Amino acid sequence: MKKVVDVSLPIGPVHPCFKEPARIKCETAGERVIATEVELGYVKKGIEKIMVGRPWQETIFLAERVCGICSVVHNTAIVGALEKISGIAVSPRAMHLRIILNELDRMQSHLLANYSYCYTIEHETLAMYLLNLRETVMDAIEIMTGTRIMAAYVVPGGVREDISAETAGKILDAIGHIEAELPRFVQMFATGPLIALRSKGIGVLSVADAKESGVVGPTARASGIARDAREQEPLYAGLGWHMITRSEGDNFARIMLRFDELFQSAAIIKNALAQLPDGPVRLGGRVTAGRTTHTIEAPRGDLTYDIELDENGQVISVAIQTPSIMNVEVGSHAMMKNLASAADVTSTFISTDPCIACAER
């Protein structure tokens, strides 16, 4: 069949809706968008390449700088891989602290994702409420680790430093504030008629498409695929984690799923602080030669590190598989097809929470 294209509409790389440079080429017929193509490569730095030949101590800092939004999870993933290679034990208290920090990181990432979506559909009031709430989470991260982003808190054998009872109290206060404020904003989003017009039934990712494309994270769970790497970690189940899925697969479902996960993360942090065992936070160990693959759940989906070390602890080869690359591609192949309006392209793209820095590294 011959395809009739009126205008090829480029969006980006510098665009008011995008946090990061990406270019979306849209083929339009009138206002309807027939097909899109996402062009990446604007922030490629070659981090995996410069990790090779470096001692493992340096790769921790480089891994953190793969992504500034989810720096904690990259730190946890590479340290987890190093521990798996060398058989280094982690104390129970350090495991709990890692989970607390990872869930705080997930909360700020989800709040930022939902802020971006609300900003893209021009609901700036709700967007600013969410962005302000994110600052509360950033404060909790800062109290816990000493800095807002790039904390390098997770080290092989445990975490960098312990938290005091006072710090734990402040984190609980922050979580309490979020749990008190957030239901109002979720209510605003769930019942807003104009939000529903811009979100419900738009950018639908069917279960068949989702299964075929290997989509991960909240984008997959919003399409009814029960896939979450946290189920591999036995500690999470004890802290009240359970799989959250939705069946609609549209923009609305993806954002509401992130709101649901925010409440779940808050509950996990509260449980982890209540059950926090005593003991040391940092055990000894030596990083040895070997190769392994380690997967954990980043805010956007499965994050996998495949790393090989020699006997001196230097990196022979490293490969990072980040969640965003699958979600961005499925966006252009399944979600952003036959959209009624060109304005829905950016909101659909943002609803998958694309992290271009992660995807390109």
Partner 1 sequence: MTLLQTLKNAVRKRSIHVCYVNTGSCNGCDIEILACLSPRYDIEQYGIYVHNNPREADVILITGAMSAQWIDKLPDLWDKVPEPKAVVTIGNCPISGCAFNRPGALIDPPVSKYIPVTAAVPGCPPRPTEIISAILGVADILFENYETKTEEKP
> Which residues in this chain contact partner 1 in the complex, by CB under 8 A?
13-16, 18-21, 41-47, 49-50, 61-62, 65-69, 71, 112, 115, 128, 131-132, 134-135, 138, 148-150, 355, 357
| Closest to 113 (Cα-Cα) out of 317, 308, 324 | 324
Taking the C-alpha atoms of residue 98 and residue 107, their distance in angstroms, rounded to an integer, is 14
Shortest CB 131 distance to partner 1, Å: 4
Query: Quick check: helix, strand or coil at residue 151?
Result: coil
Q: Work out how close the CB of 224 gets to partner 1 at its nearest, in angstroms, rounded to a whole number.
A: 29
As measured in angstroms, the least distance from the Cβ of 49 to partner 1 is 5
The CA dihedral of 339, 342, 346, 347, to the nearest 10 degrees, is: -60
- φ, ψ (nearest 5 deg) of residue 308: -125, 130
Nearer to partner 1, 220 or 355 (CB): 355
The DSSP element (H or E) to which 324 belongs, if any, is helix 324-330
The minimum distance between CB 133 and partner 1, in angstroms, equals 9
Residue 80, H or E segment: helix 71-86
Task: Tell me whether residue 4 or residue 14 sits nearer to partner 1 (CB atom).
Answer: 14
Closer residue to partner 1, CB minimum distance, 24 or 273: 24
Q: What does the block give as tokens for 76?
A: 């946890």
Helix/strand number for the chain, H first, E second:
14, 8
Q: Which is nearer to partner 1, 135 or 179 (CB)?
A: 135
Please identify, using beta-carbon distances, which residue of 18 and 56 lies nearer to partner 1: 18
Distance from the Cα of residue 165 to its chain's centroid:
29
Pairing status of strand 158-159 against strand 301-309 = unpaired
Contacts of 127-136 with CB under 8 Å at 24 or more apart are: 129/181, 129/185, 129/188, 130/185, 133/178, 133/181, 133/182, 133/185, 134/108, 136/174, 136/177, 136/178
Q: How far is the CB of 125 from partner 1 (least distance, A)?
A: 11
CB of 155 to partner 1, least distance (A): 17
Contacts of 153 (CB under 8 A, 6+ apart): 72, 75, 101, 144, 145, 159, 160, 161
Instruction: Tell me whether residue 18 or residue 305 sits nearer to partner 1 (CB atom).
Output: 18
Q: Smaller CB distance to partner 1: residue 65 or 282?
A: 65
**Shortest separation between residue 246's beta carbon and partner 1, angstroms:** 26
In the bound state with partner 1, the residue whose beta carbon lies nearer, of 108 and 223, is 108
Nearest distance, CB of residue 353 and partner 1, angstroms: 12
Cβ–Cβ under 8 Å, residues 316 and 52: yes
Shortest distance in whole angstroms from residue 65 CB to partner 1: 5
Cβ closest to partner 1, residue 20 vs residue 250:
20
Tokens found for residue 348: 């659909």
What gap in Å lies between CA 237 and CA 272, rounded to an integer? 11
Please give the helix or strand (H or E) that residue 306 lies within, else none.
strand 301-309
Q: Is the distance from CB of 345 to CB of 26 less than 8 angstroms?
A: yes
Residue of 252, 265, 13 whose CA lies nearest to 134: 265
The least distance separating partner 1 from the CB of residue 278, rounded to whole angstroms, comes to: 34
Considering the complex, state which of residue 60 and residue 90 has its C-beta at the smaller distance from partner 1. Answer: 60
